[in-house]
Amino acid sequence: MRIVGIGASAGGLAALEDFFRHTPADTGMAFIVVQHLDPTQKALLPELLQRFTDMPVQEARQDQHIQPNTVYVIPSNAELTVTDNLLKLQQPREPRGMRLPINVLFSSLASARSERAIAVVLSGMGSDGTLGLQAIRATGGLAVVQEPGSAEFDAMPLSAIAAGCADIVAPASELPGRILSYNTHVTEPDESKPPARSLEPIDAIIGILQQNTRHDFSLYKPSTLLRRIERRMAIHGIATMPDYIRYLEENSQEVQLLFKELLIGVTSFFRDPDAWDYLCKEALPALIERNRSGTGLRAWVVGCSTGEEAYSLAMVITEVLEQVKPKQDIGFQIFASDLSLEAIAVARAGRYPESIEAQVSKQRLARFFTRSDNGYQINQPIRDKVLFAQHDVILDPPFTKLDLLACRNLLIYFDPMLQRRLLPLFHYSLRENGLLMLGNSETVGRLNHLFEPLKQRLRLYRRLPHDSISGSSFLLKSFPPLSTLSKEQPVPVPTVPHKGSENLQTAADHLLLQVYAPAAVVLNRDADIVYISGRTGKYLEPAAGKANWNIHAMAREGLRTPLYTALKQAAAQREPVELHNVAVETGAGVQHVDVTVQALSDPAALKGMTMVVFREAPAVARSKRSKRSPAAVNDQSEEILRYQQAIEQLSEEARLSREELQASNEELQSTNEELQSANEELTSSKEEMQSMNEELQTINAELQAKLDDLALAQSDMQNVLNSIEIAILFMDQNLNVRRYTARASNIISLRESDVGRPLSELTTILDYPELEEDARETLNTLVVCEKQIATNDGRWFSIRIIPYRRLDNVIDGVVMTMVDITDTKELESSLRKESASPPSSR
């Protein structure tokens, strides 16, 4: 049995009506509805939904067995989860305004039903449901979202779609049909049986994927591939593999969607909290304690997806370094890699929805994140510690000299052969005693000679020393040259005899440029390097930290100051600026170099740029530096003077900049504190208001439905009263007129304006002076009063006075009925006369 979890908030009642009106009563599925409700009010949702469906609608109860073809609705002030085939209720863990009950249901549904789970997000405000949909997709379930344009409030559907976790997007009325179609085509998962389908079509699909994405899925588990392919087929209602292969060949967008499906890019902050807790309290402090060299920590997160795990690790390392306080100040760098460029882009941006509040503690949210309109932004210091890159762990060389490697919930999708190849690779990448983090369902298998468990249950391992792996030979085996991986033969280039001399000249020119051309770089207006020619490693080197291509950051020691001066001088004149015999610090000692700096004006493509040419200073010039001529000494003195002037100018500029920055910083600090305080207050108020607004929207929809019911009931009652030929008068507890029928106005003088008037002020044709007294007696004693009363015009009425009893069994007035019995009285009188007259004699 499949279970469909449905999440809705503001505007959700109309969407639920559209959904259930188009859902058959015999689907064989169970439906669980969660809506943002006012915790102080009893929910009216079950009886409202019952009007739209023939399935029984029940309010969920603790430990209730889930039955097919039944709708279960969350009660007020509770969180609803699914365990096995039971409903579980618990008190909300978060304060009002911070609760995400839809995420709670979906996450439990993913754990309990995996591939058999279906989650639906309908109209609502905020982002509740997004994380739950990600969990559903991670386990192979179906994620369904209402089309935002058809939703009264589109925030929840838009959040789910933006997170890339929507399999089906359609108006609420169309969703049941799409779900039933999916349910018809998808096969029930059974891990104990081999795939029923032939693997040949899967090989064809792998070929299509490799041709379009350049990624090879042939070493993934066939069962994993088959489930994901069948899932895409079911979403589109395609029954056979050949039909799906044709669909892939004709639809490049579906190829990309299948590629994303196979990547299974699902992650979260601090997934498996016990593992992170042990890492923070035990494993990392011990690792830092063993790091006596004082070198920075290096970590690699493999398959980082959208970055949550990499940022989690950065936060934990930051906290541990502050707690341990090592003797030497050490930093850290985290490399995070994934196949998906889209996931990498999201990770680099570092923006996440409000729903991460369920994963990240309030303390970490306050310290490592900045609140934005649509969620949270990772703060820059943490972002700077993580370097994201697209990387194929199967084909690309690994990062090395690591202290920690996290590869969680990735190996489970690879076949055993690939697992046995990657684990030695991880061993090679780690330093001695380095840490390996795996997912809950992953182990090192038989490779326990490479890793020992620190906590087997938490899948945390330490690298063991092992000399059987040779670095160079191992890498050559693991990562063969690209030519051996290519399955296509190179295209032969036709020879053209009459152009032989031209080809020879081009090849010779190219060789001469490579061998003899001086090292040079071309800079843009910001002094960033845009082109490199020759070998510049003696003079330039990448700066530590975040990649920076500015020449001032890359220039080696001894070259920076003269180069800065030359660049400013070249920008102010047309002639090239020459620097001679500049001493540059390199790893092998001091290297002397001549530098030419020239501003470029043509060709047009290079206008505004600057070329810097490096030539190694001749040895003769260096050997004669002690025997310089007076002219050379003068040149050197002038150069020193220029340097001094440049230093003084730079010092003055730096002093003025420092003063301005200090003043600006003080102002900004003050403003920032005020804004931070105001922002915290506004954020808190916004969350509370949003939560209350959603609850009020729900209550308003329920009350509107009730008002519609009451209006219909009142209309029915009025028609009933008008159709019966009985005079009826309704009075409240003070015997004031509440309602009456048309026939009652013929007996008691009543008009519409008399509603609310006391009975004592009304005139009547009844000869009944004790009418008020009898009505009050009935109100006090609850005893029914029945009398036959004559009127002034000779008619008779049967008067019956009974208590007015509400549905909650409270007496709220009296009801008086007046039935005309004149004909009955006249008949009785005639009968009495006949019986009183003497019988006639014969």
Pull the structure tokens for residue 172: 């609420």
Beta strands, E only, 63-162: 64-65, 71-73, 79-83, 86-90, 117-121, 142-146
Secondary structure (DSSP) of 809-839: S-EEEEEEEEEE-HHHHHHHHHHHHHHHSPP
Residue 201 has pLDDT above 70, yes or no: yes
Question: Which residues 6+ apart lie within 8 Å of 575 measured at CB?
Answer: none
Beginning with the edge strand found earlier in the chain, give each strand of the sheet holding 351-353 in spatial order: 351-353, 375-378, 369-372
pLDDT of residue 546: 64
What integer pLDDT is reported at residue 590 of this predicted model? 83
Q: Do residues 142 and 135 touch, judged by C-beta distance below 8 A?
A: no
Mean pLDDT on 178-198: 66
Rounded Cα gap, residues 575 and 598, in angstroms: 7
- H-helix or E-strand spanning residue 434: strand 430-438
% of the chain beyond a pLDDT of 90: 27
**Are the C-beta atoms of residues 128 and 103 closer than 8 Å to each other?**
yes
Most confident segment among 264-268, 367-371, 828-832:
367-371
| Burial zone of 299 (CB within 10 Å; 0-12 exposed, 13-18 middle, 19+ buried) | buried
* Residue 259 pLDDT grade (very low, low, confident, very high; cuts 50, 70, 90): confident
The runs of H, that is alpha helices, within 524-628 are 551-554, 560-572, 619-623
pLDDT computed for residue 639 by the predictor: 67
Parallel/antiparallel/unpaired status of strands 811-820 and 796-805: antiparallel
- Report residue 186's pLDDT band, with 50, 70 and 90 as the boundaries: confident
Range name among 131-140, 187-196, 382-391 with the lowest pLDDT average: 187-196
Is the pLDDT score of 177 beyond 70? yes
* Cβ neighbours, 10 Å, residue 17: 19
SS (H, E, C) 513-534: HHHHCCEEEEECCCCEEEEEEC
Q: What is the pLDDT of residue 256?
A: 84
624 pLDDT band, cuts 50/70/90, is very low
Return the closest-CA partner of residue 231 out of 129, 132, 106, 116: 116
Provide the H-helix boundaries in 724-757. none
Query: Positive or negative, the Cα torsion across 55, 58, 60, 61?
Result: negative
Q: How confident is the model at residue 636 (pLDDT cuts 50, 70, 90)?
A: low
pLDDT surpasses 80 at 641: no
Active site residue 745: no
Backbone angles phi, psi at 282, to 5 degrees: -120, -60
Rounded Cα distance, 35 and 37, in Å: 6
Axis crossing angle, helix 252-263 with helix 241-250, rounded to the nearest 10: 110
Residue of 18, 36, 268, 691 marked active site: 36
Under the banding of pLDDT at 50, 70 and 90, the label for residue 635 is low
User: Which listed residue (9, 107, 123, 268) is catalytic?
Assistant: 9
**Residue closest to 420 by CA, chosen among 454, 446, 457:** 446
Least confident of 244-258, 640-654, 727-741: 640-654
Beta bridge partners of 335: 300, 387
Percent of the chain with pLDDT over 70: 85
Identify the top-confidence range among 96-110, 485-499, 615-629: 96-110
CA angle 150, 155, 27 (to 5 degrees): 55
pLDDT of residue 120: 95
Residue 55 above 90 pLDDT? yes
The arithmetic mean of pLDDT across residues 699-705, rounded, is 74
Higher pLDDT, 827 or 198: 827
Tell me how far apart the alpha carbons of residues 139 and 562 are, in angstroms, rounded to a whole number: 60
What is the crossing angle of helices 222-236 and 175-185, to 10°? 140
Alpha-carbon distance values, 759 to 108, 530, 726, 773 (Å): 63, 98, 19, 10
pLDDT the model gives residue 226: 84
Is the pLDDT reported for residue 51 higher than 70? yes
Residue 628 pLDDT level (bands cut at 50, 70, 90): low
pLDDT at 146: 95
State residue 490's pLDDT score.
Answer: 35
The DSSP 8-state label assigned to residue 748 in this structure reads B
Please enumerate in sequence order all residues whose Cβ is within 8 A of that of 591, keeping only pairs 6 or more positions apart, or say none. Answer: 538, 539, 583, 584, 585, 616
The answer on pLDDT for 327 being more than 50 is yes
- pLDDT reported for residue 434: 92
Q: What are phi and psi of 328, to 5 degrees?
A: -100, 140
Per-residue pLDDT tens digits for 538-548 = 888 877 666 67
What is the gyration radius of the CA atoms in the chain, in angstroms? Answer: 42
Query: Given a cut of 70, is residue 151 above it in pLDDT?
Result: yes
Question: Which is catalytic among the residues 18, 38, 128, 403?
Answer: 128
DSSP string, 137-182: HHTT-EEEEE-GGGSSS-HHHHHHHHTT--SEEE-GGGHHHHHHHH
Q: What is the mean pLDDT of residues 782-796?
A: 90
Give the pLDDT mean for 481-487. Answer: 37
Q: Is residue 751 scored above 50 in pLDDT?
A: yes
Question: What separation, in Å, do the N-terminal and C-terminal C-alpha atoms of the chain show?
Answer: 93
- Amino acid in the structure at residue 199: L
Q: With cut-offs at 50, 70 and 90, classify the pLDDT of residue 517.
A: low
Position 20 confidence tier, pLDDT thresholds 50, 70, 90 = very high
Phi, psi torsion values for 36, nearest 5 degrees: -70, 110
Give 147's pLDDT tier (boundaries 50, 70, 90). Answer: very high
Most confident listed range (136-140, 162-166, 389-393, 477-481): 389-393
191-224: b or e for each residue (b if 16 or more CB lie within 10 Å)? eeeeeeeeeebbebbbebbeeebebbbebbbebb
CA–CA gap between residue 746 and residue 214 (Å, rounded): 92
CB 396 within 8 A of CB 303: no
Residue 731: the pLDDT is 94
Active site (annotated) includes residue 36 = yes
pLDDT at 545: 62
Res. 499 pLDDT band, cuts 50 70 90: very low
The stretch 119-133 carries a mean pLDDT of 89
Query: Which uninterrupted H or E stretch holds 301?
Result: strand 297-302
Confidence of residue 72 (pLDDT cuts 50, 70, 90): very high
Q: Examine the pLDDT at 467 and tell me if it is beyond 60.
A: no
User: How many Å apart are CA 132 and CA 149, to the nearest integer?
Assistant: 22
What rounded mean pLDDT belongs to the chain? 82
- pLDDT over 50 at 489, yes or no: no
**Which tokens sit at 289?**
């304690």
Highest mean pLDDT among 24-38, 124-138, 580-594, 697-711: 24-38
What is the arithmetic mean of pLDDT over 581-587?
82
